[in-house]
């Protein structure tokens, strides 16, 4: 049986790394697309030592030519692409009060443009495989956050593209869905928490507002949803924004979860 091939942008750490590891456990061929050289190759070597088939292509994804090279490398070596996970990006906190038009556009390039570029260059291969696209977005696109106009706009654009592509590509059997995390402990999130005067208190305050279990979502839980959406077990799901967030966005954050698992308001 020919193994399926999946590209994951920002695959060297955080949610992307969790998805890469989950793909390898499922026996897929995983391609790490990331700008971080050392982290990418450390992950590749670790998983190769465990018997997985995995590769990495290094490049700044904001440059469309690098996205083309990632797709070209994958097709030249493996001959197919069965799925694309658009994940790379970061909350750079370019706000309306603390930013500029140039900074805003640079952030859009870093957080949104490569979602389009990767899909554009991979499209012919995805048509052949009747593959699918999973876009990793953020609750910021739905709830707002404050002082992060560019990131919120980029994430909102990802959700809009998810629906647009689902319509445009349905005639090819290509499914397109988005996962919307809220609070997930990743290296970038930990850096952000560290900017507060009392980071542990800030983290506790955030956890208290997450209805299910009063805890943050694990990167592995996002990866499990990604694997489901990439698999043949979700063959009639497309154009969906799926929240994996412990109820953070849609449930009343005044809820308290008791130690016995019962919920009270």
Q: What is the CATH number of the domain that holds 155?
A: 3.40.50.720
Task: State the Cα–Cα distance between residues 202 and 67, nearest whole angstrom.
Answer: 37
Residue 191 lies in a domain: no
Residue 146 lies in a domain: yes
Structural domain containing residue 40: 5-185+218-252
Check if the beta carbon of residue 87 is closer than 8 Å to that of residue 19.
Answer: yes
Residue 212 lies in a domain: no
Task: State the Cα–Cα distance between residues 138 and 243, nearest whole angstrom.
Answer: 9
In the predicted model, is pLDDT for residue 263 greater than 80? no
Catalytic option among 115, 151, 189, 248: 151
Q: What is the pLDDT of residue 252?
A: 87
Check if the beta carbon of residue 209 is closer than 8 Å to that of residue 248.
Answer: yes
- Write out the two tokens for 124: 């012919």
Summarised one tens digit per residue, pLDDT across range 27-43 is 999 999 999 999 999 99
Q: What is the pLDDT of residue 120?
A: 98
248 in active site: no
Strand partners, 132: 83, 175
Alpha carbon distances (Å) from 108 to 100, 151, 189: 12, 7, 19
Residue 103 lies in a domain: yes
Task: State the Cα–Cα distance between residues 212 and 102, nearest whole angstrom.
Answer: 40
The residue with greater pLDDT, 254 or 156, is 156
- What pTM was computed for the model? 0.93
Question: Collapsing DSSP states into helix, strand and coil, what is residue 76?
Answer: helix
Q: Is the dihedral of CA 183, 241, 8, 46 positive or negative?
A: positive
In the predicted model, is pLDDT for residue 2 greater than 80? no
pLDDT-derived band at 257, boundaries 50, 70, 90: low
Q: What is the pLDDT of residue 256?
A: 59
Domains in the chain: how many in total? 1
Instruction: Write down the mean pLDDT value for the chain.
Output: 94
The residue with greater pLDDT, 80 or 255, is 80
Residue ranges of alpha helices (H) inside 35-176 are: 37-49, 64-78, 101-108, 114-129, 140-143, 149-169
Q: What is the pLDDT of residue 185?
A: 86
Residue 155 lies in a domain: yes
Average pLDDT over every residue of 163-187: 96
Residue 204 lies in a domain: no
Check if the beta carbon of residue 173 is closer than 8 Å to that of residue 214.
Answer: no
Residue 108 lies in a domain: yes
Q: What is the pLDDT of residue 265?
A: 45
Task: State the Cα–Cα distance between residues 48 and 54, nearest whole angstrom.
Answer: 7
In the predicted model, is pLDDT for residue 261 greater than 70? no
Residue 177 lies in a domain: yes
CA atoms within 13 A on the CB side of 74: 32
């Amino acid at each position: 049986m020919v193994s399926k091939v999946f590209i994951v942008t920002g695959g060297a750490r955080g949610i992307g790394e969790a998805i890469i590891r989950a793909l390898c456990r499922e026996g897929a061929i995983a391609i790490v697309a990331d700008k971080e050289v050392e982290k990418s190759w450390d992950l590749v070597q670790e998983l190769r030592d465990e018997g997985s088939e995995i590769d990495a292509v290094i490049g700044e994804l904001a440059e469309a030519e690098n996205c083309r090279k990632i797709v070209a490398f994958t097709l030249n070596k493996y001959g197919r692409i069965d799925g694309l996970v658009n994940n790379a990006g970061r909350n750079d906190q370019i706000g309306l009060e603390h930013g500029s038009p140039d900074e805003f556009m640079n952030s859009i390039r870093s957080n949104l443009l490569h979602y389009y570029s990767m899909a554009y260059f991979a499209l012919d291969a995805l048509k052949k495989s009747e593959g699918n696209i999973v876009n990793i977005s953020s609750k910021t696109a739905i709830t707002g956050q404050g002082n992060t106009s560019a990131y919120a706009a980029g994430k909102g654009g990802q959700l809009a593209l998810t629906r647009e592509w689902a319509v445009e590509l349905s005639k090819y059997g290509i499914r397109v869905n988005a996962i919307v995390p809220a609070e997930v402990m990743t290296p970038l999130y930990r850096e952000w928490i560290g900017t507060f005067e009392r980071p542990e208190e800030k983290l506790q305050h955030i956890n208290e507002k997450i209805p299910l279990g009063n805890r943050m979502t694990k990167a592995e839980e996002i990866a499990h949803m990604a694997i489901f959406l990439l698999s043949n077990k979700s063959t009639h799901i497309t154009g969906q924004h799926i929240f994996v967030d412990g109820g953070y966005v849609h449930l009343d954050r005044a809820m308290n979860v008791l130690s016995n698992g019962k919920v009270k308001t």
